[in-house]
Structure 1
Amino acid sequence: MKLRVLLVDDEQLAIDRLTDLLGTLEEVEIVGSAHSASEAMERIAALAPDLVFLDIQMPGGSGMALAADLDIDNRPEIIFVTAFEHFAPDAFAVDATDYLLKPVRFDRLRAAVTRAQRRVRLSRSAGDSAAPAREPSPYIDEIWVAVRGGQVRLSISAIEWIEAARDYVMLHTATRSYLHRAQMNMLEEQLDPAQLFRVHRSSFVRLSLVQEIERPGRGNLNLILRDGIVIQVGPSYVKQVLAQLNLS
């Protein structure tokens, strides 16, 4: 499935960079661009894109306000692209598909596009049955996370990886990310390592999703997930990770 993409940023250089990066992905088709929130609203109405890469701080109106004004049931998927971390809570409160920091890493961009594809497919084929029940566990099997208008239960089985974000953590699933106030050490006590294994002081990973490993040298280790995300393994975690992957 090819996604029809609209790029929104007040800086042409930013649009050009995204155009170059997205040009390597066969699953997207760039259908237009806009340089302001008002122009973006017109282009969204006229072009009906599947996905919008949206800057936040723009003259004449913010991308965040634009996303909040769109009809949640009919709007395109939104990937915010910004130079500022502190907008992340607001981004996920409006159900953003992803939140990318400039300069955009290609692996994060590709993973965000893959996530958007999944969300579009799910919205077009709603009604799938719920996941089967799992065996009882001494660990938590769900987390209450904040979303626009309240909170929802997030199943631990849906989380693919976790990264620290100052006083919060980012819980990444196949279709979106959730910003959750928690500490990594607390999560390590609560999470089943058979599901999410701590590989760094700043990250947990579902090791079954690791498709490739890199050994950049000097005992370093990187994990490459199925969506192309590259996660560094902390030096003190390398032996445990290799043992879990049956590579020790």
Structure 2
Amino acid sequence: MRVLLVDDEALALDRLRTLFADIEDVEVAGQATDGDMALEQIEALAPDLVILDIQMPGRNGLRTAAALEPEKRPEIIFVTAHEHYAPDAFEVDAADYLLKPVRFDRLRQAVNRARRRRELREQAEQSGKLLEEVEALRSKTGSSRSDDAGFWVPERHGHRWVPIESIGWIEAARDYVLLHTETRSHMLRATMAALEEKLDGTGLMRVHRSAFVRPEKVAEVRRANRSLTLVLDDGAHVQVGPSYIDALTDKLGLP
């Protein structure tokens, strides 16, 4: 995985390079010190992942990410000294966000998450045509399974049935969604609006425009100013959207 580092602070760039030296299968392809330079480097280097500081002079990290075409955008991990930027980070479909000073364990976790998202999206795109053919065949012949009970997801050599009851949480990934189970993650081409209708009454609760969570999977709730972040039992961090906070806190029985 080729990585571009973007930060206006030289010490922060040096620290990131040092941390990445201990992460396997990662190559630091380049670095940039502002948003405009980052856009030029992304165009020239085509990195798989960008570590992007939010607070920079001129074009900040959020504006830099928003300037990228969604179809060509690399995976993005935001870095910030302020937790209140988290909701904005997820609005541009970031794989994760890290608080400064960046810890090695969180960086490695975020990189693995970005890597998984990228691999699953590539796999889903390669299998997309086959999935359409399978769905067309199933619509003609019928299916022995209830579509309301789960999803057929593409795999390298076919398709796998994923029961809804096995899904712990779901996140949006551009034109796809990631279905996270206890053993692995699956990527499916679907909209969050369609999922919300299908998941009604299944125990999965919408907590953000780009996320559903099974409440019993929540291990920790973190508050920062008016924002809320869920830490799930698998270590994943999920941002709660402002319009979903009241319903979620009621569901969890939080004061």
Return the TM-score normalized by structure 1. 0.64
Give deviations 1:56-96, integer Å, cap 9, x for gaps. 11122111001011111211000011111111111011111
Aligned to 1:53: 51
Equivalent residue in structure 2 for 1:170, among 224, 229, 238? 229
Shift of 1:175: 11
Q: Distance in 2 between matches of 1:159 and 1:130?
A: 22
Shift of 1:189: 4.5
Shift of 1:162: 4.5
Letter in 2 for 1:179: Q
Would you tell me which structure has more helix in proportion to its own residues? 2
Q: Distance in 2 between matches of 1:175 and 1:46?
A: 34
Equivalent residue in structure 1 for 2:252, among 180, 185, 188? 188
Aligned positions, number: 182
Matches within 5 A, 1:5-44: 5-44=3-42
Question: Which secondary structure state, in structure 2, belongs to the residue aligned with residue 6 of structure 1?
Answer: strand
Letter in 2 for 1:170: T
Q: Distance in 2 between matches of 1:117 and 1:171?
A: 22
Question: Which secondary structure state, in structure 1, belongs to the residue aligned with residue 163 of structure 2?
Answer: coil
Do the aligned partners of 2:206 and 2:212 also contact (CA within 8 Å) in 1? yes
Question: Which secondary structure state, in structure 2, belongs to the residue aligned with residue 59 of structure 1?
Answer: coil
Letter in 2 for 1:11: E
Change (3 A) 1:168 1:86: closer
Give deviations 1:176-220, integer Å, cap 9, x for gaps. 753114378645349xxxxxxxxxx9xxxxxxxxxxxxxxxxxxx
Does 153-162 or 72-81 show the bigger shift?
A: 153-162
Equivalent residue in structure 2 for 1:97, among 89, 95, 98? 95
Change (3 A) 1:105 1:176: same
Q: Is 2:204 aligned against 1:142?
A: yes
Equivalent residue in structure 2 for 1:88, among 86, 89, 102? 86
Q: Distance in 1 between matches of 2:227 and 2:251?
A: 11
Give deviations 1:20-50, integer Å, cap 9, x for gaps. 0110011211000000100000000000000
Shift of 1:165: 2.7
Do the aligned partners of 2:50 and 2:74 also contact (CA within 8 Å) in 1? yes
Do the aligned partners of 2:205 and 2:215 also contact (CA within 8 Å) in 1? no
Change (3 A) 1:113 1:158: farther
Mind listing any 5+ residue stretches in structure 2 that lack a counterpart? 128-153, 155-159, 167-200
Letter in 1 for 2:100: K
Shift of 1:170: 2.2
Return the TM-score normalized by structure 2. 0.63
Aligned to 2:70: 72
Shift of 1:101: 0.6
Q: CA RMSD, aligned part only?
A: 3.0
Percent of residue pairs bearing the same amino acid type: 46
Equivalent residue in structure 2 for 1:154, among 212, 217, 232? 212
Q: Distance in 1 between matches of 2:97 and 2:220?
A: 14
Give deviations 1:92-142, integer Å, cap 9, x for gaps. 11111111010011111110011011011111101525621329xxx9621
Q: Is 2:162 aligned against 1:131?
A: yes
